[in-house]
C-alpha cells in the first residue's frame, strides 16, 4: 500500500499541528553511519591575532570588558563562540596593572600561557604566577580573577567547556563582591600538598572532580617529555605524549576537558589517527606541519589550530616541537562514546 506525496505531506502537516513528526523523514540525519562534524579544521596564526589583541587593549579596559578576550570562532560555526562543536577557545589579554574582576561559573576553564611576565591568576584563595607554556586550571564554580603585575602585556589561550554546558543547560555565573578575591593561602600551597608525587594523609578534593593542582608548570612538563623521548622511541601515532593528571585518582585533570602535551623530536612524523573527540591545539615551541582532514597548516609558536571530531590528523615536526592539546575526550570516555582509529604509518 502506498500513498501520494500530497497525502503524506497532508499527514505530516497534521502531525506537525499536534507537535509530532515522522521519524522516517529524519532517521538518516539522527543516525549517521559515522560522525560528520559540522566544525571545520582551522588555524589561527598568533602573528595575525596579536596585533588585534593589542588593539583591543587600546579600546577598552579588562575591567570594563570583564574578560578582554578575542574568541576563536570556528569558521563553520560563526556566531556561536565555538572553536569546535563542544569547546570554546579565546585569547585573553591583560595589560600591566589591570585586573579581570573575580567571578565564578559552572563551566570549567583552562589557560595555556602564551606571553608576558607577571601574569597572575587566583583560584580558591591562592595565587599562581603564569609563565609561558604553563597549563593553568580554573575549576568549575571556583572564584577566579586575573592580573598582570609585571611590565608586559600578558596573553594566554582560554579553553572552556561552554558549548557543552550550554547544550546541557547547566550554566551558572556569579560575581564576587570585590575586584579581587581574598587570598588565604601562600603561592605554591596546592603544588606542595598535591604536586610532589605526594598527597595529604587524608586527601580531600578542594575542587570536587577537578585536580587540586591548578598550575602545571611548563618547565616540569617539558623536562618530562624530553626525558621520556630519550627513553624510548616515539609512538607512531602519538609521538611522545603525556597527559595532565589529577594526582588524587590518576584520571584527567578536569571533568569535562582532557589536556595533554605532545612532543615531536625534529623530523618526526606521526601516522594518521582520528578520534571522536575534537582537538584544540596550541604550539608551545617549535615548528610543526599539521595535516587535518584535507588541509595542511604550518604552525608557528603560539598558533592555535583545531581538528574536528573523527577527522584524520597527522603531524610533522620541522624542529623539536611541543604541542599543547585539549579536547572533550574525557566526556566521550565517561559516556562510553570515545573511539579512535589508527591509520597505517
Ligand atoms: O577568564 O573567566 O575566555 O569567564 C571566557 C569566559 C575567559 C575567564 C574566557 C571567562 C573567562
Across the range 25-51, mean pLDDT stands at 96
Band (pLDDT 50/70/90 cuts) for residue 293 is very high
Torsion angles phi and psi, residue 287, rounded to 5: -140, 130
CA of 11 to the centre of ligand 1 (A): 48
Give the DSSP H or E segment for 126: strand 126-130
Ligand 1-lining residues (CB < 6 angstroms): 67, 69, 90, 92, 105, 109, 144, 158, 160
The set of residues, in sequence order, having a beta carbon less than 8 Å from that of 297 and lying 6+ positions away, is 41, 43, 289, 290, 291, 303, 305
Please report whether residue 278 resides in a domain.
yes
Nearest CA to ligand 1 atom 6: 67
Among protein residues, the one with the nearest Cα to ligand 1's atom 1 is 67
Q: Which atom of ligand 1 is nearest to the CA of 146?
A: 1
Distance 147 CA to ligand 1 centre (A): 13
Q: What is the CATH number of the domain that holds 279?
A: 2.60.120.10
Q: What is the pLDDT averaged over residues 33-55? A: 98
pLDDT-based confidence at residue 2 (cuts at 50, 70, 90): confident
Model pLDDT for residues 148-181, shown as the tens digit of each residue? 999 999 999 999 999 999 999 999 999 999 999 9
156-194 core/surface letters (b: 16 or more CB in 10 A; e: else): bbbbbbbbbbbeeeeeeeeeeeeebbeeeeeeebbbebb
Question: Three-class SS of residue 92?
Answer: strand
In a domain, 105, yes or no: yes
Region at 85 (left for phi over 0; alpha for psi -120 to 50; beta for the rest): alpha
pLDDT in tens, 130-144: 999 999 999 999 999
Instruction: Classify residue 128: in a domain, yes or no.
Output: yes
Asked if the structure places residue 247 within a domain, the reply is yes
3-state secondary structure of 49: helix
Owner of C-alpha cell 615548528? 287
Q: What pLDDT sits at residue 226?
A: 98
Q: pLDDT, tens digit, for every residue of 249-277? A: 999 999 999 999 999 999 999 999 999 99
Q: Which of 25-29, 67-71, 329-333 has the lowest mean pLDDT?
A: 25-29
> What's the total number of domains in the chain?
1
Nearest to 73 by CA among 50, 89, 51: 89
B/e letters for 223-256, b = 16+ CB within 10 Å, e = fewer, are: eebeeebeeeebebbbbbbeebbbbbeebbbbbb
Distance 225 CA to ligand 1 centre (A): 29
H or E segment at 53? Answer: helix 46-59
- Is 2 among the domain residues? no
- C-alpha cell belonging to residue 64: 570594563
Element at 330 (helix H, strand E): helix 329-334
Q: Kindly state whether residue 9 falls inside one of the protein's structural domains.
A: no
Residue nearest (by alpha carbon) to ligand 1 atom 8: 67
Domain hosting 183: range is 42-342
Q: Is the pLDDT of residue 56 over 90?
A: yes
Residue 19 forms part of a structural domain: no
State in Å: Cα 91 to ligand 1 middle: 10
Q: Quote the pLDDT of residue 288.
A: 98
- pLDDT over 80 (residue 234): yes
Read out DSSP for 183-238? Answer: P-B-TTHHHHHHSSS---SS---TTTTS-S--EE-HHHHHHHHHHHHHHSPPBTTT
Q: Is 23 a member of any domain?
A: no
- Ligand 1 atom nearest to CA at 105: 4
Grade residue 203 by pLDDT with cuts at 50, 70 and 90: confident
Mean pLDDT of the chain: 97
Ligand 1: distance of its center to the CA of 110 in Å? 9
* Beta-strand relationship, 109-115 and 215-216: unpaired
Question: Is residue 1 predicted with pLDDT exceeding 80?
Answer: no
Amino acid at each position: 500500500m502506498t500513498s501520494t506525496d500530497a497525502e503524506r505531506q497532508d499527514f505530516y502537516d497534521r502531525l506537525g499541528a499536534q507537535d509530532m513528526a515522522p521519524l522516517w523523514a529524519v532517521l538518516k540525519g539522527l543516525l549517521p553511519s559515522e560522525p560528520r562534524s559540522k566544525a571545520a579544521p582551522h588555524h589561527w596564526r598568533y602573528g595575525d591575532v596579536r596585533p588585534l589583541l593589542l588593539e583591543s587593549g587600546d579600546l577598552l579596559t579588562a575591567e570594563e570588558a570583564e574578560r578582554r578576550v578575542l574568541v576563536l570562532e570556528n569558521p563553520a560555526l560563526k556566531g556561536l563562540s565555538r572553536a569546535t562543536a563542544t569547546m570554546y577557545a579565546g585569547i585573553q589579554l591583560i595589560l600591566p596593572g589591570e585586573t579581570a574582576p573575580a567571578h565564578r561559573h559552572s563551566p570549567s576553564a583552562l589557560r595555556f600561557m602564551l606571553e608576558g611576565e607577571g601574569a597572575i591568576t587566583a583560584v580558591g584563595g591562592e595565587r599562581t604566577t603564569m609563565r609561558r607554556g604553563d597549563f593553568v586550571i580554573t575549576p568549575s564554580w571556583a572564584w577566579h580573577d586575573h592580573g598582570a603585575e609585571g611590565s608586559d602585556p600578558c596573553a594566554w589561550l582560554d579553553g572552556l567547556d561552554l558549548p557543552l554546558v550550554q547544550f546541557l543547560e547547566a550554566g551558572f555565573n556569579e560575581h564576587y563582591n570585590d575586584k579581587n578575591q581574598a587570598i588565604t593561602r601562600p603561592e605554591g600551597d596546592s603544588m606542595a600538598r598535591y604536586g610532589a608525587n605526594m598527597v595529604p594523609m587524608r586527601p580531600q578534593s578542594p575542587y570536587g572532580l577537578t585536580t587540586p593542582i591548578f598550575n602545571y608548570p611548563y618547565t616540569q612538563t617539558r623536562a618530562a617529555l624530553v626525558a621520556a623521548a630519550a627513553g624510548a622511541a616515539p609512538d607512531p601515532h602519538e609521538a611522545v605524549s603525556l597527559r595532565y593528571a589529577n594526582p588524587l585518582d590518576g584520571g584527567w585533570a578536569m571533568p569535562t576537558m582532557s589536556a595533554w602535551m605532545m612532543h615531536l623530536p625534529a623530523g618526526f612524523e606521526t601516522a594518521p589517527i582520528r578520534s571522536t573527540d575534537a582537538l584544540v591545539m596550541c604550539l608551545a615551541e617549535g615548528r610543526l606541519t599539521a595535516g587535518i582532514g584535507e588541509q595542511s597548516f604550518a604552525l608557528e609558536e603560539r598558533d592555535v589550530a583545531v581538528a574536528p571530531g573523527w577527522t584524520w590528523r597527522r603531524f610533522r615536526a620541522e624542529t623539536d616541537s611541543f604541542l599543547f592539546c585539549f579536547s572533550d575526550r574525557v566526556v566521550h570516555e565517561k559516556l562510553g562514546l570515545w573511539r579512535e582509529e589508527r591509520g597505517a604509518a
